[in-house]
Every structure is written in structure tokens, then in C-alpha cells.
């Protein structure tokens, strides 16, 4: 099985020492699943692999960064882990704080969090405060809290978060034997595109791969400050995990796209929901709406002729579909049918009479 958890597995690439207590839930090691069905549906000629980060312990990619952030917080003796969150960060912070025996404080925008994520924060015992404001307001308060000695902020402004998240690009290279030609992923607070690019560069420098991918980041149209070139005062999108108007890692994300000859672009909510359905029905992979932004980006890029024939393309889907079951039920555009408890009724309902 190899070593469990990203700190143990990639220790030589991470800022840890023998003194760092490893707070882990065996995160990482998520599958890279080939999805030829999507390519043929699009009429494309490329190899597509889906990095399914929803299979991390708290069902999102955030666990990679959280294991490192909480381990380093424990090492310096912090007692409280705090974060502002649209959901996935709070779920992860709450679980890892529980594991470490630390208190967890979560600030979320009032009524703006998917039900599955709220359930996770609460069940892990985090103190959850809903503020009358948006994510950016919450992050501002958390930054202030972080000035206290006993509090560790575990949003992606915490540099250890990015360090942990970069391990996903190591895993992609390990699985493929080389870096891909293009890497698509959603962009919200922009920590992930920053982390992947850092990881790909470090892995190449370490002699573990010989090339670098073009980084293709995708924002939701109603929350696309990087694409628009200015903060969005009131971001709105069905993709709650990327409903962020002023990303913490804005500059780093732009650098990642520019340095890699990639791009940061946007997709509509309709394109995101179509992509969520297509991924579930064509590849058997169920993700939350924000995760489908990268898939929608592939559809858009392919339609523009931006994916060269024969390319190896990886897309990161960041969180499991059960994070936001309400949207999924609605977006299935289907409903169950009630029938009598006999074979003839069933056959009639499925058209096999």
C-alpha cells in the first residue's frame, strides 16, 4: 500500500521536520480515472483523466492542505483552528481539528453553504458562526483573529495549505509516468491552481517528470473576478464552492496560467450543471457543481479547438456530489415514479411490455 497520507508519502517535498506531529486521516492517493466516454461524446481525439478528489476523507481536495496546516499548527502549540468557508474548508478543518484534539471555529456566509458541508462541520464539533455578509467579509474577520497567538488560520492564506495541495500534481505524474499536456480545474479562492503549478514545477526539478502542463483554470460567470480583472462585490453562482469575489491567491493563479501558457476563463451556471450531469452519466463520477467547472471548461475548450489532437488532459474534480445533494436532485432533470408492486406495472413503467 505504501505510506498513508500525503505528509508521509511526500515528506521530502514538504516543509516538515522530525518534530512535526503528523495529523492525518490517510488523505491523498485519490484515483485518476480515464474517461473515454466524455471524449467520444465530444467527438474529440485526446486522452482524458479525471482526478477524483471527492474520495478524500472529508470528500474534497481540501484535506491535502489541511493535514499539513493542522500538523504545523499543532507543532507550534496553537489551540484553535479557524477558517472562513463556503463549505469544504470548514468540513476539512473540523475533521482534522477533531483528530488533533483542537477547537475549530468556522465562519460562513449566512445561508450560503451547501447542506452536506454544513452537516460535516457540525458533526465534527466545530463552533459554526453564520455571519451577515459574504465569504470575503468572513475571511477579513478570520485574518484579524489570526493575529492572536493561540489561533491558527487554515484558509489558503495559510502557506502550508498550498504546500499540502501540491501533492495532487505529484500523484498525477506518478500515475501517468509524466506530467499531462493540459490540466483543467475550477478556480474559486485560486489556491488549487497555484498549488498544482508549484507541484508540477517542483516535481520536474526533482527529476520526476520532464515537462509541464498548461494550466487551464475555470471560474463561474457570476464569480469571475480574475477573468473580469476586478473583484466581484456580490458573487452569485450555483457552484457555491467557487462563489468567491476576491480570491486570496489571485496573483499566484494569474502567474500559473501565464507561466504555463494556459488561461483562466469562465463558464456559465448552465454549462456547469450540464457538465455535472454529463460527468455523472458518461463517466459514472458524481461531483458537486463547482467541481464540474473544469469539465465545462473542457467542453468549451474543445469546441474552440483549443485541445490539440492526441493530448493527455487531466481535470481535477474537487468535491463529491453528496456535498450538495439538493442541487443534484434538481439538476438530474428526472424524478422517481411510483408504481404498483407487481411485475406488469414495472414493465409498463420502463416500456418493456
- Cα(340)–Cα(335) distance, integer angstroms: 17
- Is 191 labelled a binding residue? yes
Q: Which residue has the cell 520536474?
A: 204
Is residue 84 helix, strand or coil? strand
Contact 282, 50 (CB under 8 A): no
188 among the known binding-site residues?
yes
Cell digits of residue 296: 465545462
The residue among 295, 301, 347 whose CA lies nearest residue 319 is 295
What residue has cell string 439538493? 326
Instruction: Output the nine-digit C-alpha cell for 329.
Output: 436532485
Instruction: Tell me: is residue 297 an annotated ligand-binding position.
Output: no
* 43 is an annotated ligand-binding site residue: no
First to last CA, the chain: 50
309 is in an annotated binding site: no
Picking from 290, 317, 234, the residue whose alpha carbon sits closest to that of residue 35 is 317
Angle in degrees, CA 190, 109, 292, rounded to 5: 45
Burial grade of 175 (CB within 10 A; 0-12, 13-18, 19 or more): middle
What are φ and ψ of residue 16, in 5° steps?
-125, 160
Q: Are 67 and 25 in contact (CB under 8 A)?
A: yes
Q: Mention every residue, 6+ apart, whose C-beta is less than 8 A from residue 337.
A: 349
Cell of 241: 464552492
How is residue 126 written as a grid cell?
466545530
How many Cα neighbours within 13 Å face the side chain of 103?
8
Residue 113 C-alpha cell reads as 453553504
| C-alpha span between 137 and 344 (Å, rounded) | 58
Q: Is 190 annotated as a binding residue?
A: yes
Q: Which backbone phi and psi does 56 adopt, to 5 degrees?
A: -75, 165
Ligand-binding site membership of 192 (annotated) = yes
Q: Which residues are annotated as a binding site?
A: 88, 188-192, 318
Q: Which residues are annotated as a binding site for pyridoxal 5'-phosphate?
A: 88, 188-192, 318
Amino acid at each position: 500500500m505504501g505510506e498513508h497520507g500525503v505528509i508521509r508519502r511526500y515528506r521530502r517535498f514538504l516543509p516538515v521536520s522530525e518534530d512535526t506531529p503528523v495529523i492525518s486521516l490517510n488523505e491523498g492517493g485519490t484515483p485518476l480515472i480515464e474517461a473515454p466516454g466524455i471524449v467520444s461524446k465530444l467527438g474529440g481525439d485526446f486522452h482524458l483523466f479525471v482526478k477524483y478528489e471527492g474520495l478524500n476523507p472529508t470528500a474534497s481536495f481540501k484535506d491535502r492542505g489541511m493535514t499539513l496546516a493542522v500538523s504545523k499548527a499543532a507543532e507550534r502549540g496553537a489551540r484553535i483552528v479557524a477558517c472562513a468557508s463556503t463549505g469544504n474548508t470548514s468540513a476539512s478543518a473540523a475533521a482534522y481539528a477533531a483528530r488533533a484534539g483542537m477547537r475549530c471555529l468556522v465562519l460562513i456566509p449566512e445561508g450560503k453553504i451547501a447542506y452536506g458541508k454544513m452537516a460535516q462541520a457540525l458533526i465534527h464539533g466545530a463552533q459554526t458562526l453564520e455571519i451577515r455578509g459574504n465569504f470575503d467579509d468572513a475571511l477579513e474577520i478570520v485574518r484579524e483573529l489570526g493575529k492572536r497567538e493561540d489561533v491558527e488560520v487554515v484558509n489558503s492564506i495559510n502557506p502550508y495549505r498550498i504546500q499540502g495541495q501540491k501533492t495532487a500534481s505529484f500523484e498525477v505524474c506518478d500515475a501517468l509516468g509524466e506530467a499531462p499536456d493540459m490540466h483543467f480545474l475550477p478556480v474559486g479562492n485560486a489556491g488549487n491552481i497555484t498549488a498544482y503549478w508549484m507541484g508540477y514545477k517542483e516535481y520536474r526539478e526533482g527529476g520526476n517528470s520532464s515537462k509541464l502542463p498548461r494550466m487551464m483554470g475555470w471560474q463561474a460567470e457570476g464569480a469571475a473576478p480574475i477573468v473580469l480583472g476586478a473583484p466581484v462585490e456580490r458573487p452569485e453562482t450555483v457552484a457555491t464552492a467557487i462563489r468567491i469575489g476576491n480570491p486570496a491567491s489571485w496573483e499566484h493563479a494569474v502567474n500559473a496560467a501565464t507561466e504555463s501558457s494556459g488561461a483562466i476563463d469562465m463558464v456559465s451556471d448552465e454549462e456547469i450543471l450540464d457538465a455535472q450531469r454529463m460527468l455523472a452519466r458518461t463517466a459514472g463520477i458524481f461531483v458537486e457543481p463547482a467541481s464540474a467547472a473544469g469539465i465545462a471548461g473542457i467542453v468549451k475548450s474543445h469546441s474552440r479547438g483549443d485541445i490539440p489532437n492526441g493530448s493527455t488532459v487531466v481535470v481535477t474534480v474537487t468535491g463529491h456530489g453528496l456535498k450538495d445533494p439538493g442541487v443534484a436532485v434538481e439538476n438530474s432533470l428526472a424524478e422517481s415514479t411510483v408504481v404498483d408492486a407487481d411485475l406488469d406495472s414495472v414493465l409498463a413503467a420502463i416500456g418493456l411490455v
